[in-house]
Structure 1
Amino acid sequence: MANIIISPAKYVQGKGELANIAQYATKLGKKPFILISESGKKRVGGIIEDSFKETGCELVFEAFHGECSKNEINRLVAIVKEKGCDMVIGVGGGKIFDTAKAVAYYVNSPVIVCPTIAATDAPCSALTVVYTDDGVFEEYLWLPANPNLVLVDTDIIAKAPARLLVSGMGDALATYFEAKACQASNATSCAGGHITIAAITLAKVCYQTLIEEGVKAKLAVEADVCTTAVEKVIEANTLLSGMGFESGGLAGAHAIHNGLTCIKECHHLYHGEKVAFGTLTQLVLENADEDLLDEVITFCMDVGLPTTFADLGIENPDKDALMEAATLAASPDDTLGNEPFEVTPEKVYAAMVAADALGRYYKGF
């Protein structure tokens, strides 16, 4: 099997870049379907409309209903066909991107992704994570191509709540460790081949950037400024993690995230917050050395990512509920099988409980 790396056709990141969207979009079509939340349109809809003013393009805005589900995707596909749109633009967060990518795939059109937050690595990938209408993980939809353009306006992202940037760090935190697991097991990555030197390098730089810049970036965003550290973390969360996970592969952390979606107490959490605990659990499964565990747990505590069940909202852990999550995580249809050893639901349950114990130990209780 070949070594393969894939990526978006173009990645643009900088301050004020959303105002330039029309110059890129008009090369792809003339009637964009713009998927955005109602609050997102209030914040940035005017910037998009101003960019297209002199282009002659007809814009069709549609409000996202909140969940990347089959029902929502089908609803939007019908609207795109009815309106005769020739491209899809997703503006907002991870579930909007994933929905926009799926819709573009089903109507065979180009897709542009414009993050207003850096909370996940979804923007760059050829992947849609499909949930039920109630937010429980259902399946992965593997797409034949990455977005035509990922346009990242760092001024807008820096104005979002710091928790969203931190969630993106949690998602990105898993990238290197999952890629290493896939490399060790010679697993097939999301790109459809074995991992390249470029992919593992991107994944490693992603992790190093978080450790070196993460706390500084969080503090800067809390102070309502966009610094070099913020710019670097946005790139790590979006591009380095996006290419690193896709061409490096998924393993324990994201499978454990998917398992946690069946626990109702976790539904208030962002994707990256659950992935961070999944990363800690994966490291326990792999019996990582003490220095690495110390670095990861300390980082999570410093930026505010979950390290215990209580942090996840599970105040009174129920063994049956945790076993259900562990069983879902260890499903043959998920990615725990990419670990370089056999993983059972019992092992996942034990690792989750041990990860919680480590987190409580570091917190001093």
Structure 2
Amino acid sequence: MTALHAIAQFPSLYKQGPGVLAGLPELVQGLNCDKALILAGPNAWAQAGGIFGQHSNLVHHPFTGECTSPEIDNAVHAIQQGGYGAVVGLGGGKVIDTARAAAHLAGCVPFISAPTVASTDAPTSATTVIYQVDGSFSHYLRSRNPTAVLVDTAIIARAPVRFLVAGLGDALSTWFEAESCRRSGSANVCGGLATLAAGAIARLCYDTIQADGPHAIAACLARMVTPAFERVVEANTLLSGLGFESGGLATAHAVHNGLTRIPACHHALHGEKVAFGVLVGLVLTGAPALQIRQVLEFCQSVGLPSHLAALGCTNPTQAELQAAAEGACAQGESIHNESVAVTPDRVLAAIIIADRLGQDFAMVKPQQ
């Protein structure tokens, strides 16, 4: 067996703050390309498209809302037919994933990530999550990290707070999954062992959302950019992105992928399903009750779902839960990075117990 080396990956440039998107035209010019395609859905374009004014080197291409192989192929065709020298993903995680994959498949043209929400850690990574047309998980595509990531917090502060909360769910998983990979000696998403920096970043991500999560939510509800809001946006986007990719994934994201097999969960956001996956992972690996309680308390404090009904799955059948467990345990899934034995039956039991714990906690400590 070939020994693993420590590997970490990063975007070339990360820039965050109010108004940074205004620098996109200059950034594109610096790449020595004549024009860039901006892949964006209608909401993101309505929020941010006006920032770019009449710059003829930035051309909007519509995104239909799901990162599927047909959607990626459509974007690849537009890039190649239009002769674009760069691609910008403007919006949430799925449009950013689609733009990244299309830029890679169109000939590895430079890719710029421009999130308008802080709902996932997709903007900094080299990983695209591709779904089936029916909304279920299909596969991952590895390409390259972005040439640049532009995080305009003035725009993100105006987005619905649910997106920020979902980002907290994605960020919540980062340290737990990186720790699982460290304990088991499993490879990170880059294909190597985690560096010390990756572990420290993952822990900083966890500490930041614990300290600033509720304050950031209050700022988002007021549509204000505050220091706590800036720190949480950085945690959701940069710290979580670097932490998951260079630290590794485990149960939480595998459970997310499994839950996409349940139609009732399709309306739940990525980070909402991942947050529940964190609880499943803690149950699966026999974590102390105090640690599980701390995660439940955090989820309640920021409004993250901690049981299936909160994900929209009010009366799942045994067959649906079994399908989710089997999906989470599919060959190559990150759940196999855990240091404990993993089988669909054990994961099914962990899902059921995590659901019961979340329900019981919500009943004992109702939302204020």
Question: Aligned-pair distance for 1:222?
Answer: 1.0
Residue equivalent to 1:87: 86
Q: Distance in 2 between matches of 1:121 and 1:106?
A: 22
| Structure 2 partner of 1:44 | 48
Aligned counterparts, 1:166-181, within 5 A:
166-181=165-180
- Counterpart residue type for residue 10 of structure 1: L
Deviates more, 1:172-181 or 1:355-364: 355-364
Q: Which residue of 1 is the match for residue 14 of structure 2? A: 11
1:302 and 2:293 are equivalent in the alignment: no
1:32 aligns with 2:36: yes
User: Which residue does 2:267 correspond to in 1?
Assistant: 268
Quote how far apart the aligned CAs of 1:44 are. 1.1
Q: Does 1:340 align with 2:344?
A: no
1:23 aligns with 2:26: yes
Q: Distance in 1 between matches of 2:142 and 2:176?
A: 22
C-alpha displacement at 1:335, in angstroms?
A: 0.9
Distance in 1 (alpha carbons) for counterparts of 2:118 and 2:67: 18
The alpha-carbon deviation at position 49 of structure 1 amounts to 3.0
Partners of 2:44 and 2:265 lie apart in 1 by: 25
> Shift of residue 357 of structure 1?
1.1
Match of 2:352 in 1: 353
Consecutive unaligned residues in structure 1, runs of 5 or more: none
The DSSP-based 3-state class of the residue aligned with 1:187 is: coil
The alignment partner of 1:364 has SS state of helix
Match of 1:127 in 2: 127
Return the offset for 1:58: 2.6
Asked if the contact 2:47–2:155 (Cα under 8 Å) also holds between the matched residues in 1, the reply is no
In the alignment, does 2:145 pair up with 1:142?
no
Structure 1 residue 101 displacement after superposition: 0.4
1:195-242 Cα distance to aligned partner (Å, 9 max, x none): 110001000000001111001111121122111111000000000000
Q: Secondary structure at the match of 1:33?
A: strand
State the partner residue of 2:320. Answer: 321
What SS class does the counterpart of residue 205 from structure 1 fall into? helix
- Asked if structure 1 preserves the Cα contact closer than 8 Å seen for 2:166 and 2:271, the reply is yes
Alignment pair present for 1:73 and 2:72: yes
Q: Distance in 2 between matches of 1:196 and 1:290?
A: 29
Shift of 1:290: 1.8
Deviation at 1:317, TM superposition (A): 2.5
What SS does the corresponding residue of 1:210 show, helix, strand or coil? helix
Secondary structure, aligned partner of 2:191: coil
Q: Residue type of the partner of 1:266?
A: C
Post-superposition offset of 1:79: 1.1
Aligned to 1:232: 231
- Distance of 1:49 and 1:289 partners within structure 2: 54
Shift of 1:39: 2.2
Cα displacement (A) at 1:310: 1.0
SS in 2 for 1:90: strand
Report the count of equivalent residues: 359
Q: Which amino acid aligns with 2:180?
A: A
For the residues of structure 1 that align with 2:130 and 2:351, how far apart are their CA atoms? Answer: 24
1:174 CA drift (Å): 0.4
Secondary structure of 2:5's counterpart equals: coil
What fraction of aligned residue pairs are identical, expressed as a percent? 47
Following the alignment from structure 2 to structure 1, what is the Cα–Cα distance between the partners of residues 215 and 292?
Answer: 21
Query: Which residue matches 1:165?
Result: 164
Post-superposition offset of 1:23: 2.0
Quote how far apart the aligned CAs of 1:38 are: 1.6
Give the gaps of 5 or more residues in structure 2. Answer: none
SS of 1:35's partner is strand
Which AA in structure 1 matches 2:23?
Answer: N
Written as runs of structure 1 = structure 2, the 5 A alignment for 1:178-189 is 178-189=177-188
Give the whole-Å Cα distance in 2 for the aligned partners of 1:223 and 1:38: 24
State the TM-score, normalized to the length of structure 2: 0.96
The code of the aligned residue for 1:217 comes to A
SS of match in other structure, 1:193: coil
For residues 190 and 49 of structure 1, what CA distance do their matches in structure 2 show? Answer: 38
What TM-score results when the alignment is normalised by the length of structure 1? 0.96
RMSD value, Cα: 1.0
Q: Distance in 1 between matches of 2:50 and 2:212?
A: 32
What one-letter code is carried by the residue in structure 1 that aligns with 2:246? Answer: S
CA distance in 1, matches of 2:190, 2:61: 31
How far does residue 46 in structure 1 lie from its aligned partner after superposition? Answer: 1.2
SS of 1:88's partner is strand
